[in-house]
Amino acid sequence: MKTDISEKAENIRDVIRYLQKFKNALVVIYLDDKTIESPLFSSHIKDIALLHEAGLQVAIVPGARQRIDQILSSEKIEWTYKNNIRITNQEAMPLIKMAAFDVSNTVMTSLAANNVTAIIGNWVRSRAKGVINGFDFGSAGEIDKLQTDAIKTVLNHGFIPIFPCIGWNSVGHPYNISSVSLAEQIAINLCADKLFFVINGANINCKSFSIPKNIATSENGDIPALNLEEVDEVLKENKKQSEICTILEKAKNACKNGVIRSHILDGSKDGVLPCEIFSNLGSGTMIYTSNYGKIRQLTQSDIPSVLAIMKPFIEQGILLNRTENEIAETMNDYFVYEIDGSIRGCASLHVYKDSQAEIGAVTVDSSYSHMGIGPLLINYLIDLAHSKKCKDIFIMTTQTIDWFEKLGFSLDSDINSLPEERLKKWSVKRNSKLLRYVK
């Protein structure tokens, strides 16, 4: 296990790394109404203010469903839902608009209390959803256009724009639009670096979802990250529509259309926004394209990070001790798994003269073991060995036999079948077990 001081140091390095990475980055934050009405709302606003002060550009889209419900109920105005869209007549629009701006004003006032200037604007052009298959959607609207230049001006002047769930047509007629869709569209149109959906109780885990076996989960069953293909797999396994499935669709679509990453966070947890931005591990579920984690060859500057990851496993006797010089001498054999510029895993592939290949030094930062980095490295090196026409692939281990067996390796009792060079390094004292890839 890492020492307390090393964990603290790594956390600080993460923050510094991400401050550099996201300086002047644009983040769009959707806050659902339950989060806004929760006791943690002021804490989330304080975190948003800190993000803004750290140099990030921030846009906020507050949800207003509950507030609209309250005002319509108080005026005894009835409504229904179709496809999760509120259906009312046009007479209800003044009240819906009042509720939406009331929630936006709550957000603006809270930001002001943290010395941040925010502006509520009418930057959204919309059109009536109209009549679809004979059904009249009444006051519901669709996003037609965003006044992108005006929004960018607000952001560039250091203000936070707040978007009520109201859009206007070209003659000033208002429509009720989806806040979730609005957040998605703003992020796409502004080419946001990040889109956050902060939703009270939003947890994508084994308890509430059917999770395909190939998707990595944390120790408590949460999914820390999904690429676009994995989102499709999760949605396929969970065909029953739910709010979170809808959010997953929106998050995926945003990433497909240029947003670098989307995040689904539980608004009932304090500190989820800074934890998600300023650490590799995050605090919710991240949706990403293929550029999140990558495998690449080791460089000289990576060696200290690799040794730091190896250290606890060497102390436990799981790995053989390796010095900086030893790794440097065989540097071309080593590959690392990098997340946002930091090394979180490594492994090596050494090809012997008899065309046998050994996978070794398989190490993953213990804090990231739930993310499936180990299997990714192993599969990468297996493919690499095959591309080199290796006739056999083996590993030597003392304490991780079961783990390698899950990845397609099988015990081989014939130690003498090892390449001569490798056999000389084997010792009865360590008594490493030989496993060969059999798939």
Looking at residue 91, what is its pLDDT? Answer: 87
| 3-state SS, one letter per residue, for 87-145 | ECCHHHHHHHHHHHHHHHHHHHHHHHHCCCCEEECCCEEEEECCEECCEECCCEEEEEE
Q: Which residues neighbour 129 within 8 Å (Cβ) at sequence distance 6 or greater?
A: 85, 137, 140, 141, 142, 175
Which residue(s) pair with 356 in the sheet?
Answer: 392
Looking at residue 3, what is its pLDDT? Answer: 52
Instruction: State the residue for tokens 């709302």.
Output: 41
In Å, what is the CA distance from 236 to each residue of 8, 23, 201, 209? 40, 37, 22, 11
Residue in 79, 60, 67 with CA at minimum distance from that of residue 164? 60
Distance CA 236, CA 219 (A): 24
Looking at residue 278, what is its pLDDT? Answer: 76
**Are β-strands 392-397 and 356-364 bridged in parallel, bridged antiparallel, or unpaired?**
parallel
Q: Which residues neighbour 137 within 8 Å (Cβ) at sequence distance 6 or greater?
A: 82, 85, 87, 128, 129, 130, 131
Residue 270 and residue 251 in contact, taking contact as beta carbons nearer than 8 Å: no
Residue 418 and residue 394 in contact, taking contact as beta carbons nearer than 8 Å: yes
Structure tokens given for 26? 């644009």
Distance CA 29, CA 228 (A): 20
Residue 161 and residue 111 in contact, taking contact as beta carbons nearer than 8 Å: no
In Å, what is the CA distance from 258 to each residue of 19, 60, 178, 185, 227? 22, 19, 21, 11, 14
In Å, what is the CA distance from 132 to each residue of 128, 247, 253, 296? 11, 23, 23, 51
Looking at residue 1, what is its pLDDT? Answer: 44
**Are β-strands 131-132 and 135-136 bridged in parallel, bridged antiparallel, or unpaired?**
antiparallel
Provide block-wise average pLDDT over 10 residues at a time, the chain (439 residues): 62 66 86 96 96 94 95 92 88 94 97 97 94 91 95 96 95 94 96 95 87 78 86 86 86 94 95 82 80 84 93 88 92 91 92 94 84 87 94 92 91 92 87 89
Looking at residue 159, what is its pLDDT? Answer: 97
Distance CA 28, CA 21 (A): 17
Residue in 155, 137, 139 with CA at minimum distance from that of residue 147? 155
- For 274, other C-beta atoms within 10 Å of its C-beta total 17
Inter-axis angle of helices 243-256 and 228-237, to 10 degrees?
160
